[in-house]
Structure formats: C-alpha cells, structure tokens
A and B are shown apart, each in its own frame.
Chain A
C-alpha cells in the first residue's frame, strides 16, 4: 500500500468528536496541496518522493526503550495513547483531547496551519487522537514527561500533540522518536505559552530506516520562555520543522539542534521564527556531523515584523563533513522590517581543523582517537545549550555512543 492509498483508506475512520472539524479541514487542505515537491521553496532540499512511494506493510514492532530520565512520566504516542503517569498537580490534564479542558480544545488547529503546509494537513486529516498537556496558571509540572513516538515498519502514523501552558506555568517534555523500522511518522505539535510560562522541549531521534516529519508550531506570550533542543542520530529521512512566533514582549525562543549521521541519512532542520513583539530574543545553534552518503539541511528564517523593535536574533549553523560523499545545504535567512534590532547569522561548513588534530597527535593521541575527540567536542558544544543537567548528560552519552559506533564500524 502506498501513502496515498493508506490515506484514502483511513481518512474517514472513527476519531473523537473533538477532532471532527480538524480532520475535515485537514483532508480538504491535503487534497488541495498534495505532498510538496522540491519546486516548493521550503522543500527545495528535501524530496518527499520516496515517502510517497514507500510500501506500507506492517512488520514487527520494536520493543520500547528504557526511560531516558529516571522517574519521568511516560506516554506512548502510538496507534493509541498509552499512559503510565504518576500523580500530577491539580488541574493538569495529560491525556486524550476527548476529556481535555475547553481552554485547550479551543486551541487545537489554531497554531499549526494546515492551509499551506501539506504535512500538517495530512496529520490533521488522519490524527486518531491528540495528546493534550494542559497546565493551569501558576502550576509547575514537577517531573519531565517522556513522550515515546515509535516508528514501526510498514506503518504510517500521525501523532498529534497540543501543549497549553497558562500564565507562569511550566513543564518539560522529552520527545523520543524510537524505532529503527522503515515506518513513516508525521507528527504535529502545537504549543501555546501564556505570559511568563516556561517550557523545555528536548527531542531525541534514533538511527534507522524511519522517515519522520516533525512539525512544531509555537506561540510564545509575553515574558515566556521556550527552549527546544533536538538530537538526531540518524533516520532515512528526517525533517524537524518549527514555526515559532514571539507574540508577547520580552519572550525568548531558543531552537537548537545537533545531528550525527552517516549512511544514507537525510536530516533537515527548518525553522522560522517570527518576531511580532518588542524586545524578543531568539537563538538557534545547529551543528551537524555528516559521514557516508548523508545529507544535512538547515533552513532558518528570522522574520522581524514592523514595530518589533529591540529584537535580538541569532542563528549559527555549523557542519562538519567527514566523507567525500556527504553534502550539506544551508540557508539562513533574515527578513527584517524594524530598524532598532540586532540580528545576525553565521554559517560554516568544512572538515576537522587540521591544526587541532596535529596538536592532539603531537601529544601522543592516535589519529583516530584524536578525530573522535574533536567530533565529540564539536557536537557537545550544541548539546551544552540544554539547560537541564540530567537531560544534558543523557544526550551527551547518546551522542558519544553514536560516535563510538561509527568508530567501531570504521575500525571493522
């Protein structure tokens, strides 16, 4: 079965009543848009043709991994939402859209527009349910919430997430994209932060044959803070796209990412930060290590609307090419309509610094080890942006493990 056949079959399937309108609109939009081709500027460097033709025949399911952070609440966003969650503060809702508070339900489909983004439309059309995290004003969710998003061989899945943090609420989500099978995941997350709210959003994507398109749409209210970091360790085709809007004064948005890939991996990080309010800050650091025939893409846009004075925007993209056949394409973009701003970006691509390598070798470190050390340090610089010590340590360990595996393969 192809993606389209699967779509035709599932578009009318049963879903909670709260999703009816979203699904109808999504289907109408997707019928109009179809999957984007590289002729669409936003998809210039990522071709979805292999997704369209992939064979969807369910295979074995991978076992679920152990928790990344001990004691985290776990939710599996598979065919059904499976919860194993401890006690949460009063008023916090973590579960299906069906019994979510009205304040959250009203926001579904209002942040991620399916009108112009086909993958959001496709997700909306086929979402079986939506996981809602609603945190009322002033409440802090005490433990990180781990979301497991499995990719299963031969299965296309369309998980949907809605996070609503009211004024001064806070929460941490760890999103784990698991499963090495040749499946397709099209996840759409909508995140609304009220005044002074604080959200941390960490994401890990394992290696394998999965194809994942992850879209997040963020709206940051006044004085709020949204920080996200994505560590991608592989995947046949991965695109993490984020649309963030600085909607209230003094808000902060940080979208960082690191990827370590080889083989035929294709990893695309596409971001768009719109500053629509005063004194906003946005930061992006994207670092990539590319081996084999892999291809890395970074497209980042910072748009400062007229009147969004005192905006401070910064983007940095650095890529390390370790192989002759790897390719990296970078497009950092600034679109600025206000004058009292400070916006800049930097982009570099190249290989390991020969001088640094020589320095280490001169101190008796074998070439291969020296190289590994430098690559690790290169990636670590991005992971350091994660401001949660436990998570940071776990991510560093994952990246180091991935690099060590590369070394072993190289030695073998």
Chain B
C-alpha cells in the first residue's frame, strides 16, 4: 500500500505542496484546514515529528474509522455531528475566542465566583483571547513555574516519567510503542479510533519497578496543560510493585471552543502495581437550553496485567452536555482488582450515559462498582455497566451498587447493567435503587434553618459520600462544593 511506503520526508513534501493538497499555509503554520482526510493525519504526525510506525498506526486507525458507524445504543440524543466541519489540529486563533470576560455567559462567571476562582484564572478557564500567554492556572495561589520545576526534580529523582505524550514519543519511543494501543486498540470503537488517528497530545506516565510515586500527578500542574486539544491521549504504565495516583480535570467549569471531545486513556498495571485514577469533569454543559455544551465521548480502559495488580477509577462527572464514558478494567492477572466509584450529576438538559466494565479473566479477581447518579431538571442520567466472568476466573467476586436520585418530575434515571457469569465459583452481586430525595430528610434540614438548596446539597453529598471519600484530598473539598453548585435551581 502506498501509505506504508511513504517516508517522513515524503510526508513533509506533501505538506509543503500547498496548492496541490489544498493547504493554505506551509508546514510552519499553526493549524490544519477544516475536515479530515489522510493528509490531515499525515500533517499532524509530521507536525509532531513522529516516527514512521506511529504514522502507520494513525493511518490504519483512520482507515478503520472510515468503515465504522457512530454508536447509537447510548441513551443520548444529539444532532448529527459533521466530522468534516471540525479542525483536527489547533483551530485558528483569530475570531474564535471571546475578547474579554464581558462576552462570557454570565451564568458561568457566577459559578466561578462561587468557587472562589481569581479573575485572571477565570479568563484562562473561559478561554479569553490572550489569556494563554499568562502563567498556568494556579498562579494566583503560588508561582506555578517554580512549583512545576520543584515537582519535576522530585519526580526525576524517583525515576518517574511524567511528560506530554508527544515528548514521550521522542524520548521514550520503545515504551510508547510497546504500550500505546495495547489496552485500547486502534480499531476499538468509533471515537477511540478517531482519537487514534488524530490525537494531538495528552500525558504519559511511567512509574518504574518498585517506585511509589512521591506525589499525586495532576494534569492541573502539567506544564503543557493548555491546548491539549479535543483528542487527548493518556498512557499510564505502572511497572511491577509501583504505585501512582493521577488526577485529571478540575472543578471549575472549563469552556472550550471544541464541542466534541474524544479522549482515550490507557492504563497498564503490572505485577503488584496500583494505579489510582481520579477525574473531576466539569466541562461547559451548555446554556439553559443545552446549547453549546461539550460532547464528552471518552474511552478509558485499564489492563490489570500483573498478578495482584489494582486499578481504581474515581470520577465526579458534573459537566458536559453529553457524557459517554465507561472506564473499564480488564482483570487479567490472578488476584487483580478493579474498582469504579462514580458520581454523575445531570441537571438542565444534560445527558449522561456512563458506567463501567469489569472483565474477569484471571483467578481470584475482584471488582467493586459504586455508582451514584443524580438527575435534576430535564436531564437524563443512565448507568450502563457490564460485569463479565470468563470460565477461568476461579473465585471471581463482584459487588455492584447503583443508586439513582431523582430531583423533579421531568428528569429521567436509568440503569442498564449486564451481568454475565461463566464460572460457578464466581460470586456476583448487583443492587440498584431509584428514589427521590426523602421528604423527611428535607424537612428535618429545613427545620434546622437550612435553605432548601443547602438542604438538597447536604443530602446529595451524603448520598455520594461513599464515592467522594475515594477522591484525593485536593479534590474532595472542592468536589463537595461543586455538587451543591451543580444542583442549583433544581429545587423550589
């Protein structure tokens, strides 16, 4: 095939030949034109100076993507996405961004204020023009550059690699080549395949054997935190006996010019390793009518390859117009463990279809699922999960608890669990409940002087407690506050 014989030089030549291939600028330009074709994929790869194997991999993904159709099984409705009407590499800066905070949805600003976010940081989060030249988001609290440097030194000392994935491709090509796509193959599903073809950046983490990562790694502190784009790719490898905790996202609502987000996260845990992955997702949910909100179509999967390895997913999902996300664990190693703790809040016209998959392959594998869904307003919230026990998974254990809370009579809460067992020694338990906020509890709180909004926030936080306590300290306090804010206007 022509594609496989292309060399990097040829790609460059193609990119340079602007008239023939319709490019409006030369290779030095910052963005590719709208639309998606093989040339765009080659352009992204060339731009990142990627080796041939990675380009080939991207092209394979692109060609499979052409054969695929969008999944329709989730309980979400949205207008048809025109994949040719999007930028796949850094959209042009001019015109797209608001000039100042005055142009931002006042609702959004109100929320920033409540979370106590400094003005300059608000501008960055809201994507105001020019704000990206300012220091990173946390500058109001302390000098992030120096913090980042100190952190880097500390990580290097421990031997932990934590860098943008594009940098890892250059510096640690063997590691990336070995693990990239080994958990989520390029042909996995429509959005993951699209991501494989056009991913622009993301994080790469490698924790060497026996190392306990000295700090929580966070995209919040990542030097290259901004403009990772809509097709983020994260790869985390925990070598034998290591431990790492990774935090993603932040509690402040982030505005983004890209409506479609299709990230892929791959985790690999080897013998006795443990990965803890926490997410607080609060992308812009759109205005009151749900317009302009982010579509969050994410593929997250962990492979517990080693004996007694463990992966724990904790997520607090409050943002996005549509969430389509099923962080999963493939429990391959004997004695490996998977956990999934989730709070999903949908208010206004938000739609969330989220859950997990636990695939038990090895002996004595264990999994635990705790999912709390809250629907308010006109939102639809679905838990969709799979627990599968394969014939060799002796003594596999699963416990699943899915609770849904309904606030208001116009929202929906749905539970769609699949439980498949092919081993008699496996013991699987699943439990789900749906109810509204208890009137007695509400009355009790009101009687003690709490406003109905405060009372709801308190009760919902109690409902989510089991999940919240698995969040790292940095997130827990803010996330609690966030739950209250997310539900504002849903009672009364």
Contact = CB atoms under 8 A, between A and B. Distances in A.
Contacts of B421: 319, 321, 327-329, 349
A344 B416 contact: no
A41 B384 CA distance: 14
Interface string A317-339: 00101111111111111111111
A312 to B, nearest CB: 11
Contact of B429 (A329, A344, A348): A348
B428 A333 contact: no
B418 A344 contact: no
A321 B406 CA distance: 36
Given A347-B430, A348-B429, A351-B425, A340 B436 contact: yes
Given A331-B416, A340-B436, A343-B434, A350 B410 contact: no
A347 B431 CA distance: 6
A347 B429 contact: yes
A347 B425 CA distance: 16
Interface residues of A, number: 36
A351 B427 contact: yes
Contact of A332 (B391, B411, B432): B432
Contacts of B427: 348-351
Given A321-B424, A340-B436, A346 B431 contact: yes
B418 A336 contact: no
A306 B375 CA distance: 14
A319 B420 CA distance: 11
Nearest to A303: B414
A103 B7 CA distance: 78
B476 to A, nearest CB: 28
B435 A329 contact: no
A349 B426 contact: yes
B166 interface: no
B419 A347 contact: yes
Interface in B402-452: 404, 406-436
A41 B418 contact: no
Contacts of A323: 424
A33 interface: no
Contacts of A41: 73
B386 to A, nearest CB: 9
Interface string B286-303: 000000000000000000
Nearest to B422: A327
Given A322-B424, A326-B424, A339-B409, A331 B435 contact: no
Interface string A298-328: 0000000011010000000001011111111
A342 interface: yes
A276 to B, nearest CB: 15
A339 B408 contact: yes
Contacts of A335: 412, 414
A402 interface: no
A329 B419 contact: yes
A80 B294 CA distance: 61
Given A324-B391, A334-B413, A345 B422 contact: no
A401 to B, nearest CB: 24
Given A41-B73, A332-B417, A348 B424 contact: no
Interface string A76-103: 0000000000000000000000000000
Interface hub of B410, B412, B413, B421 (most chain A Cβ within 10 A): B421
A333 B416 contact: yes
Given A323-B424, A349-B426, A334 B409 contact: no
A319 B426 CA distance: 11
A333 B422 CA distance: 21
A357 interface: no
A324 B419 contact: no
B436 A339 contact: yes
Contacts of A346: 429-432
Contacts of B431: 344-347
Contacts of B411: 337, 339
Contacts of A327: 420-422
A321 B423 CA distance: 8
A280 B428 CA distance: 30
Interface in B212-247: none
Nearest to A324: B424
11 contacts: A319-B421, A324-B423, A326-B422, A331-B418, A332-B430, A334-B413, A336-B406, A336-B434, A337-B412, A344-B431, A349-B427
Interface of B: 73, 391, 404, 406-436
Given A341-B406, A348-B430, A350-B428, 10 more contacts: A321-B421, A324-B423, A327-B421, A331-B418, A333-B414, A336-B434, A339-B406, A339-B436, A347-B419, A349-B421
A-B pairs with lowest CB-CB distance, top 5: A321-B424, A339-B406, A350-B427, A344-B433, A347-B430
